[in-house]
A and B are shown apart, each in its own frame.
Chain A
Amino acid sequence: MIDPFLLSMLITILASGIRFATSYIFAAIGETFGQISGVLNLGVEGIMLVAAYAAYFVVLQTNEPGLGLLAAILVGIVMGLATAFLSVTLKAEQGISGIGVYLFGLGLSDLLFRVTVKSVQTVKGFPNIHIPALSDLPILGPIFFQHNLLVYAAFALVPLAWFVLNKTTFGLQVRAVGQNPEAADTLGISVARVRYTTLTLGGALSGIAGASLSIALLNIFQQNLTSGQGFIAVALVYFGAWQPFRVMLGCLLFSMVNALQLTMQVNRIPIPADIALMMPYILTIVALIFAARQLVIQPAALTKPFERGE
């Protein structure tokens, strides 16, 4: 027999690991589309922050999580379009413009929060869904079947993304534009249109990622709510070698480590809090070192703006 205390702790870790993975998955899958089409969007974190704030604020006003999500998606689309304008139309250096978008999002979300809300208040988030029979299962129920809508949506997104990228004409165009935009151009594919599409999609998904924190997981907003998750998502795309399922595994790895360190802290298992908090970030570095060996399969045109006739 397993010690009941240990078992309940294990269930908590797995359940919250799955729940925490939500924001990573939305952000990282969105980023995957951008990167496969050849654009590195480092602004994910900034988009997540503004969207998280927008969702939070709308729910605070209307008490409707659905409307909050819609607001987050709209913010994501607008900021995704802005990112596309910078990196595709203006051909800005992607590493730098992404950091710009991040700083903009960090500052704007904090400013708006201070002006409109001032103090930390919780809002009504997406409720956990009760699935008859499944949710009531012992052990499996709490781990897999007591989550909110966005958690399930995130995991459903992964096979969908794989399908779009590998089985559709659009996906073929996305991959071609990231590998050899000149070739795509000579076949009458608009490189700019494809990249605008992937970045806008990525923006929308980053928006949902932000909302999944502020109106589903935590139901609050505060300065720098996302605390680096958007950047970790970028790293996870490398880690997952631009393949949705591997990216998802990376997300789960991170969220599980996060859940583990939280559970250990809550249960007063004696490890220094600083070390526990550092774990996800150390993991990022390790992941990137690991990913460095996979550069052979990297989209060849990643970070390179496209210009005809050079």
Chain B
Amino acid sequence: MNIQHVQLRNITKRFPGVLANDRVNFDVRAGEIHALLGENGAGKTTLMKILYGLYQADEGEILINDAPVRIKSPSDAMRQGIGMVHQHFQLVPPFTVTENIALGLRSAREPMLDLDAVGKRLRELASRYGLHVDPHALVWQLAVGQQQRVEILKALYRDAALLILDEPTAVLTPQEVKELFVTLRRLTETGHALIFISHKLHEVMQISDRVTVLRDGRVVGTVATKHTNTKELARMMVGRDVVTSWDKPPVKTDDQILRIEKLSALDDKGLPAVKNLSLDVRAGEIVGIAGVSGNGQRELAETLVGLRRAESGVVSVAGRDLTNHDPADIIAAGVAFIPEERMTMGVIRDFTVQENLILETHAQPPLARKALFDFDKIAAHASQLVREYDVRTPTLDTPVKSLSGGNIQKLILARELSRAPRLLIAAQPTRGVDIGATEYIHKRLIEQRAQGTAILLISEDLDEVLALADRIAVMYEGEIVGVVPPNTPVDQLGLMMAGAKRVSS
């Protein structure tokens, strides 16, 4: 299929109670990358699912090369030359790469599969676009970045001339993002049209030719990337100026709250993940743990909150030894935890907002009297938290799985901070969260710091660590390779994160 120009005109899409797209106009041309930028829930995915035939627009039309087309299903979209790499990969994990590509295609030897032929063409495509992946590998064994290549190859194999990438960088490491961008450039050079969805400003600035910003289902504007900047884009996205740096009065006390001494722990495979690690956090201080993911951060956090066994070493909170105590004990000692795995460890997906807000305190007065709940008190407690922490939810009885990531994170924050913790362990608190919610979460962390809570902030987002931390501990292969002040040059931090430099303290 030859695609020169795709236009979406006046697209409106309603879901029960939500106007997801409101008279949206959007277009993309061959050879360009058009970024679609917007906060979570702005309607980006909905718009693209309409273009890909997974949803039908209530109003509006789609034109390809100026001729109106009807796209009623993904098959229609593929026939028109439209391919989509979904936010959540659409792969069959136990299948090989080749089988994933062949799925749904007619074979030359129908009704028989012809995997050899598919594998052959796959190899050609892979080398043409620099998307190297083993055709015989099982998909579940591939790294996330490689799985994404399979998704792109799947679309290219179907002769996609327009490729839609829905938040392709959300799951990638910085290195993988770089590789992806090289591929995307190569695709535009070969005449493909690309739609790149993101809510990360610097990525959009880096890769796109034009940017369209969506907010609450409406187009705020379309600008040429070279005529704009992150500040302007942020304002278009959120509707106001966004705070990215914070004033922090110096830490007042020397009260040690968290003390970690020579801690060691294993990962899920039984290999050492945290090695002889020592660190302390004082009251009213934010210590940031920077590092590339997979260097033991997750295991460290889990060991601190009692979800993983410490093989050796000591963890104490406010002078009390809590090493290998169970989570209930640790919670009772005033430790709050914002887990990295929001949907599996942070909330119970099918429980309501209200139920999720009382997961830790539901058995205590005033929420419960003996074995019975006091539902009025629970509702009052929950609605106060929802208001105070600005959790956007239709009702208290809405299941959390239908909230956006940012709102779920605010709910977790509300639950954890409402216990007035002495120690907060926050793991990737703003990963996948939009700018508005990120700003809010940062503001809350700073406030909590002012109230004297000790905060251990574990984050792969170096900007976040730099903006919030009083001291930065860099973690590499299970060890702290140095504790440095936040005015340390980024280059030096980068070297430490790569394990190429150590700073003794």
Give the B-binding residues of A (Cβ under 8 A).
167-173, 175-176, 179-180, 182-189, 297, 300, 308-309
Given A179-B94, A182-B90, decide whether A187 and B74 contact each other with a Cβ distance below 8 A. Answer: yes
Flag if A186 contacts B113 (CB, 8 Å).
Answer: no
Instruction: Tell me if B99 counts as interface (CB < 8 A to partner A).
Output: yes
| CB of A28, distance to nearest CB on chain B (Å) | 21
Flag if A185 contacts B74 (CB, 8 Å).
Answer: yes
| CB of B78, distance to nearest CB on chain A (Å) | 6
Instruction: Tell me if B86 counts as interface (CB < 8 A to partner A).
Output: yes
CB neighbours (8 Å) of B103 from chain A are 172-173, 176, 183-184, 187, 189
CB neighbours (8 Å) of B110 from chain A are 169
Q: Which residue of A lies closest to B158 (CB)?
A: A187
User: On chain B, which size bracket covers the interface?
Assistant: 20 to 34
CB neighbours (8 Å) of B107 from chain A are 169
| CB of B469, distance to nearest CB on chain A (Å) | 39
Q: Which residue of A lies closest to B401 (CB)?
A: A310
| CB of A64, distance to nearest CB on chain B (Å) | 33
Flag if B111 contacts A186 (CB, 8 Å).
Answer: no
Which of the residues A168, A182, A187, A309 comes within 8 Å of B104, measured between beta carbons?
Answer: A187
Flag if B92 contacts A176 (CB, 8 Å).
Answer: yes
CB neighbours (8 Å) of A173 from chain B are 103-104
| CB of A309, distance to nearest CB on chain B (Å) | 7
CB neighbours (8 Å) of A167 from chain B are 112-113
Bound-state CA distance A164–B245 (Å) is 61
Flag if B112 contacts A309 (CB, 8 Å).
Answer: no
Given A173-B104, A189-B104, A308-B54, decide whether A183 and B99 contact each other with a Cβ distance below 8 A. Answer: no
Given A186-B54, A308-B54, decide whether A168 and B84 contact each other with a Cβ distance below 8 A. Answer: no
Bound-state CA distance A183–B92 (Å) is 7
Bound-state CA distance A170–B103 (Å) is 9
CB neighbours (8 Å) of A308 from chain B are 54
Flag if B84 contacts A180 (CB, 8 Å).
Answer: no
CB neighbours (8 Å) of A168 from chain B are 111-113
A-B residue pairs, 10 tightest by C-beta = A188-B75, A187-B104, A183-B90, A186-B90, A188-B74, A180-B92, A179-B92, A189-B104, A168-B111, A176-B92
Q: Chain B at the A interface: mostly helix, strand, loop or mixed? A: loop
Give the A-binding residues of B (Cβ under 8 A).
49, 52, 54-55, 73-75, 78, 84, 86, 88, 90-95, 99-100, 102-107, 110-113, 154
Q: Which residue of B lies closest to A297 (CB)?
A: B94
Flag if A188 contacts B73 (CB, 8 Å).
Answer: yes
Given A184-B104, A186-B84, A189-B103, decide whether A179 and B75 contact each other with a Cβ distance below 8 A. Answer: no
Bound-state CA distance A243–B86 (Å) is 31
Given A176-B92, A176-B95, decide whether A186 and B112 contact each other with a Cβ distance below 8 A. Answer: no
CB neighbours (8 Å) of A175 from chain B are 92, 94-95
Flag if A179 contacts B86 (CB, 8 Å).
Answer: no
CB neighbours (8 Å) of B104 from chain A are 173, 176, 184, 187-189
CB neighbours (8 Å) of B52 from chain A are 186
Most buried by A among B92, B102, B111: B92
Bound-state CA distance A176–B100 (Å) is 9
Bound-state CA distance A184–B95 (Å) is 12
Bound-state CA distance A180–B104 (Å) is 13
CB neighbours (8 Å) of A179 from chain B are 92-95
Given A167-B113, A170-B111, decide whether A180 and B90 contact each other with a Cβ distance below 8 A. Answer: yes
What 13 new A-B contacts, CB under 8 Å, besides A169-B105, A184-B103? Answer: A169-B106, A170-B111, A171-B113, A172-B99, A176-B103, A182-B88, A186-B54, A186-B84, A187-B103, A188-B78, A300-B93, A308-B54, A309-B49
Most buried by B among A180, A183, A309: A183
Bound-state CA distance A187–B85 (Å) is 11
CB neighbours (8 Å) of A185 from chain B are 54, 74
CB neighbours (8 Å) of A171 from chain B are 113
Bound-state CA distance A168–B114 (Å) is 8
CB neighbours (8 Å) of B73 from chain A are 188
| CB of A152, distance to nearest CB on chain B (Å) | 24
Which of the residues B55, B75, B112 comes within 8 Å of A169, measured between beta carbons?
Answer: B112
Bound-state CA distance A182–B78 (Å) is 16
Q: Which residue of B lies closest to A296 (CB)?
A: B94
Q: Which residue of A lies closest to B76 (CB)?
A: A188
A–B complex contacts, Cβ < 8 Å, 26 sampled: A167-B112, A167-B113, A168-B111, A172-B95, A172-B102, A172-B103, A173-B103, A175-B92, A175-B94, A179-B92, A182-B88, A183-B100, A184-B92, A184-B103, A185-B54, A186-B86, A186-B90, A187-B78, A187-B104, A188-B73, A188-B74, A188-B75, A188-B78, A300-B93, A308-B54, A309-B49
CB neighbours (8 Å) of B112 from chain A are 167-169
Flag if B54 contacts A183 (CB, 8 Å).
Answer: no
Which of the residues A172, A189, A309 comes within 8 Å of B54, measured between beta carbons?
Answer: A309
Flag if A309 contacts B99 (CB, 8 Å).
Answer: no
Bound-state CA distance A173–B113 (Å) is 11
Bound-state CA distance A183–B99 (Å) is 12
Bound-state CA distance A176–B105 (Å) is 13
| CB of A250, distance to nearest CB on chain B (Å) | 21
| CB of B373, distance to nearest CB on chain A (Å) | 28
CB neighbours (8 Å) of A180 from chain B are 90-93
Bound-state CA distance A187–B77 (Å) is 10
Bound-state CA distance A66–B27 (Å) is 63
Bound-state CA distance A173–B102 (Å) is 10
Q: Which residue of B lies closest to A166 (CB)?
A: B113
Given A179-B95, A183-B90, decide whether A309 and B74 contact each other with a Cβ distance below 8 A. Answer: no
Bound-state CA distance A179–B73 (Å) is 21
CB neighbours (8 Å) of B88 from chain A are 182
| CB of A190, distance to nearest CB on chain B (Å) | 9
| CB of A246, distance to nearest CB on chain B (Å) | 16
Bound-state CA distance A184–B103 (Å) is 8
Most buried by A among B94, B100, B102, B106: B94
Bound-state CA distance A180–B93 (Å) is 8
Bound-state CA distance A176–B49 (Å) is 21
| CB of A293, distance to nearest CB on chain B (Å) | 17
CB neighbours (8 Å) of B84 from chain A are 186
Q: Which residue of B lies closest to A188 (CB)?
A: B75
Bound-state CA distance A180–B103 (Å) is 12
Most buried by A among B88, B99, B102, B103: B103
